[in-house]
Structure 1
Amino acid sequence: MRTLNNPQCERNMTLQLPVLDLALWRAGGELRRQFLAQLGEAARDVGFFYLTGHGIAQTQQQAILQLAAEFFALPQAEKTAVQMVNSPHFRGYTRLGGELTLGKADQREQFDIMAEHSAPVLQKDEPAWWRLYGPNLWPAALPAMQPALLQWQDQLTNLTVTLLRAFALVLQQSEDAFDSTIKDGPYRHMKLIRYPGRSAPEQEQGVGAHKDPGYLTLVLQDGQSGLEVLTEKGWLSAVPLPGAFVVNIGELLELASNGYLRATYHRVVSPPAGVERLSCAFFMAAQLDATVPLLPLPEELALQAKGPASDPLNPLFYQVGQNVLKGRLRSHPDVAQAHYSTITGLDKKTAV
């Protein structure tokens, strides 16, 4: 079995992001109120935090990273057989440099899955984002990968639904404020990612600076640093904390809270030469046919809500499918060209 990067080398580094213990939420009463206060502070001040006490064993986390290592170690031909350009649903393998952020190639290779669905048959007037639903692609050489990753995806879905309910309370709404947007199941998207060591000093863009388009993101890291968060103090490193997930809010929560909660720019810096980094990122959004609610915040929160951030190169849409497809088309121009060349109902200048 391949040996993953040892987290021990990171343990002596100072943690610069808040650490929240979900066991406080589960305890109820005053401990739950303490968790909600910490969650609200972390979301407003940084938009990122470590999550412990989530109940997912570290041995299982390591098993997922081991699966990632085994997949990326496959011969290139076997990975290419499940490449994303073959999937109109944006599932499968993306080669090194095959995904773009801000128009520049990211130095990572990755494997994407979502929930398993049958491919939809669209009528002429139906929106193109329905095509984001569909079947995953799976490598024939790793039969254990499919059940393991689908189970893992279900576990992380449940975890993010719990956090979404907590965020509703932070916004002084009913706990079920977002339930109507995920009643048929949230939209789920997961990536196994490998960042190789840089081949030249200037090749440091593992992933360029960006925000995530959904409600919430969970990131599982190995022992190698690389994830960085933009704050008023500059870029802060999300140093790996063994057993913890890194959590950040996405654009849909920013929209729902009218900017009271803000999605935070983040990036991944490539490892130094001779070192690689593995991670698993899980993105949870509302179901694609939902419209994000603009929540009626109480006055004390509404006065602090400055509206969602406006970027003419990255417009935000309250309609979820439109918002998600925009990001997919922009990030994967090869898939866009192969399967969405006649797209309608979305501004292609801002989508690709």
Structure 2
Amino acid sequence: MTTDFTSIPILDLFLAHSDKPKFLAELQHALIHVGFFYVKNHSVTPVFLEQLTQLTTGFFDLPLEEKLKTDKIHSPTFLGYSIQGNEITKNKKDNREQYDFANELPSSWEEGHPIYERLTGPNLWPDNTHLPDFRETILSFHEQAKSLAELLTQYVAEALGLEPNALIERFVVPGQQHRAKLIKYPAVDSLAPEDGTQGVGPHRDTASLLTILYQANDLPGLQVQNHSGEWIDAPAIADTFVVNIGTGLEYLVHGIAVATTHRVLNPHAGKGPRYSIPFFYGARLDKKIAPVEISDELLTKKPVTVVTDSGHQFFKMYAENPGLYALLNRMSSHRDVSAKFYPELSREHGII
């Protein structure tokens, strides 16, 4: 096993039952030296994923006026639809449409409460007459992805020498809101020449523990930056999810698990759009949190140098105020929503 990577490892969840020490050793290596891995032999069925894919493409095929009824400009939660090119990464337009959703929770924020609490609230759903079963299927995916994320987080804890529930019990609030997205990356021949090929720019997933990603068709585009700074393809592999580490987990385990930088390039001309569906298993945002204790032996394995094209925007804030950290990162990506619902905070942090 090398200290850098040229491909993304594939972990077999069957091995967790048949030879758990071997599975945990493979997982530990993926956490420390890659920050990404595929999982196969999970419990989400191909039949369900095909239905999810059909509804995803169906949503993006709706007339624009129907999609705009769920535009996130209507809500301070940043849940809902974003039109092509509306999101920004590193001050550059991302060429993608997306629909953000979460487990359904009411809005409870009131004046005087912490401002990040405005992130929690209900979804904005498309008209059911256009997409029957959309809400039911989307929420079912959310629940299944959450169950997989919980299982993997337990294995992550064990791979790092902790009790299985050490991370979940300390850093996840029962009933908290976890986010997910439907994403469409248009091919370059449907874009203007000046748009470039940035589907989403180099970034690390903010304030989360794990991301569970379903690549819904077999077009390339997802790339992971290894620790030397080279971009490595992460192609779609049938019946797998791609899993990656978020900045929350990296902080909570002293940087042992690496929140590796990644990006998506738009498909080549003539290939049609790429679809993907990520689920973000979030760490708690409600209080200052300190990292867990990690053995000295494991700390010696921590990567010394990790090259990244991603910024570290607001990251020093995470230890003191994870809720504000998460909110500011969303605000910097969706400046129209920020200007409408968070104008003073936006000006204070140079976002608008």
Tell me the residue number matched to 1:155: 144
Tell me the residue number matched to 1:257: 253
Amino acid at match of 1:106: D
Q: Decide whether the 8 Å contact of 1:187 with 1:286 is kept in 2.
A: no
The reply on whether 1:17 has 2:13 as its aligned counterpart is no
Tell me the residue number matched to 2:243: 247
Tell me the residue number matched to 1:172: 161
The reply on whether 1:298 has 2:295 as its aligned counterpart is yes
Change (3 A) 1:263 1:347: farther
Q: Give the alignment of 1:275-314 within 5 angstroms.
A: 275-305=272-302, 313-314=313-314
Identical-residue share of aligned pairs (%) = 34
Change (3 A) 1:208 1:311: closer
Change (3 A) 1:335 1:40: same
Whole-Å Cα distance in 1 between the matches of residues 300 and 125 of structure 2?
Answer: 49
Q: Secondary structure of the equivalent of 1:112?
A: strand
Change (3 A) 1:237 1:186: farther
Whole-Å Cα distance in 1 between the matches of residues 108 and 175 of structure 2?
Answer: 17
Deviates more, 1:105-114 or 1:285-294: 285-294
Q: Decide whether the 8 Å contact of 1:258 with 1:308 is kept in 2.
A: no
Deviates more, 1:200-209 or 1:239-248: 200-209
Amino acid at match of 1:170: A
Change (3 A) 1:233 1:103: closer
Deviation at 1:257, TM superposition (A): 1.2
Tell me the residue number matched to 1:114: 102
Return 5+ residue gaps in structure 1 as ranges.
1-14
Q: Give the alignment of 1:120-139 within 5 angstroms.
A: 120-124=108-112, 126-139=113-126
Give aligned pairs, total.
Answer: 332
Tell me the residue number matched to 1:229: 224
Q: Secondary structure of the equivalent of 1:271?
A: coil
Q: Decide whether the 8 Å contact of 1:217 with 1:284 is kept in 2.
A: yes
Q: Decide whether the 8 Å contact of 1:185 with 1:287 is kept in 2.
A: no
TM-score calculated relative to the size of structure 1: 0.88
Change (3 A) 1:134 1:186: closer
Return 5+ residue gaps in structure 2 as ranges.
1-5
Deviation at 1:201, TM superposition (A): 8.4
Deviation at 1:170, TM superposition (A): 1.6
Deviates more, 1:219-228 or 1:182-191: 182-191
Amino acid at match of 1:254: E
Q: Decide whether the 8 Å contact of 1:259 with 1:307 is kept in 2.
A: no
Q: In the TM superposition, what whole-angstrom CA distance separates every residue of 1:137-173 from its partner, at most 9, and x where no partner exists?
A: 0000224111111111011011101111111112211
Q: Decide whether the 8 Å contact of 1:181 with 1:291 is kept in 2.
A: no
Q: Decide whether the 8 Å contact of 2:142 with 2:180 is kept in 1.
A: yes
Q: Give the alignment of 1:308-323 within 5 angstroms.
A: 313-316=313-316, 317-318=318-319, 319-323=321-325
Change (3 A) 1:233 1:334: closer
Cα root mean square deviation, aligned: 2.2
Q: Decide whether the 8 Å contact of 2:256 with 2:299 is kept in 1.
A: yes
TM-score calculated relative to the size of structure 2: 0.88
Please, which of 197, 217, 226 is the counterpart of residue 204 of structure 1?
197
Q: Secondary structure of the equivalent of 1:342?
A: helix
Deviates more, 1:112-121 or 1:298-307: 298-307
